[in-house]
């Protein structure tokens, strides 16, 4: 069953299908950890396979650990002496660029907050990772704020333009077609309309704020 626990951690679903005779057969997911523990048991190797699978794929969340702790409260104490999950999260190559940094930092934080220890040799790397993730987070949030401000300014300009009106009247003008050949004449309108107030085209936005 170790491979099934690993598959559950990696993909959020077991690889096989399970159910009692006469019941709907279905895969088991993260919400079924209690059912799986009841039917499979939960040895330290299984807990390790489950969490390592999630860390490997970069999808480990607080939910993975909490689902385990709900049925095995001593999981951190057991696994701290068996494997180094925090180090695995620090070194995970689960994604690329800044996403990898943020994912790794989140996994590290979730593990530490729930009792998984940082070894002495990993403390510097953990601190560096958290600082880098925080810097990236601030940069991303700043970019979001700038984009939001730009969108708001664009919407304000659009609203301002939509309020404008033309104070004049549409005047019909005849185009100068004297220099056009027969081919060009087929694609040029003889008459066009301009607003007398601003000489803009018929469908152009207003030129004056309403009083």
User: Does 115 or 189 have the greater pLDDT score?
Assistant: 115
Task: Look at residue 210 and tell me if it is in a domain.
Answer: no
Task: Look at residue 211 and tell me if it is in a domain.
Answer: no
Query: For position 176, what pLDDT does the model report?
Result: 81
76/169 same-domain check: no
The whole-model pTM stands at 0.65
177/141 same-domain check: no
Q: What is the pLDDT of residues 125-166, one digit of tens each?
A: 999 999 999 998 899 999 999 999 999 999 999 999 999 999
88/192 same-domain check: no
Two tokens at 161? 């333009």
**What range does the domain containing 179 cover?**
165-200
Query: For position 6, what pLDDT does the model report?
Result: 92
Mean pLDDT of the chain: 88
Query: For position 22, what pLDDT does the model report?
Result: 61
Instruction: Quickly state the pLDDT bin for 179 (edges 50, 70, 90).
Output: confident
Query: For position 98, what pLDDT does the model report?
Result: 53
**pLDDT at 63 exceeding the cut of 80:** yes
């Amino acid at each position: 069953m170790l491979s099934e626990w690993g598959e559950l951690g990696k993909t959020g679903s077991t690889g096989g299908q399970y159910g009692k005779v006469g019941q709907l057969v279905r895969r088991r997911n993260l919400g079924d950890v209690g059912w799986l523990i009841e039917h499979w048991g939960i040895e330290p190797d299984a807990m390790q396979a489950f969490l390592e699978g999630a860390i490997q794929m970069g999808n480990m969340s607080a939910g993975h650990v909490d689902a385990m702790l709900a049925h095995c409260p001593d999981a951190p104490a057991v696994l701290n002496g068996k494997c180094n999950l925090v180090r695995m999260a620090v070194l995970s190559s689960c994604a690329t660029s800044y996403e990898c940094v943020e994912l790794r930092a989140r996994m590290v934080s979730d593990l530490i907050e729930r009792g998984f220890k940082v070894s002495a040799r990993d403390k510097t790397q953990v601190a560096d990772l958290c600082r880098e993730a925080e810097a990236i987070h601030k940069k991303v949030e700043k970019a979001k704020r700038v984009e939001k401000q730009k969108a708001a300014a664009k919407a304000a300009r659009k609203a301002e333009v939509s309020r404008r009106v033309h104070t004049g009247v549409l005047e019909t003008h005849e185009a100068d077609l004297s220099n056009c050949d027969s081919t060009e004449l087929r694609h040029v309108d003889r008459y066009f309309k301009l607003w007398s107030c601003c000489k803009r085209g018929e469908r152009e936005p207003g030129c004056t704020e309403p009083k």
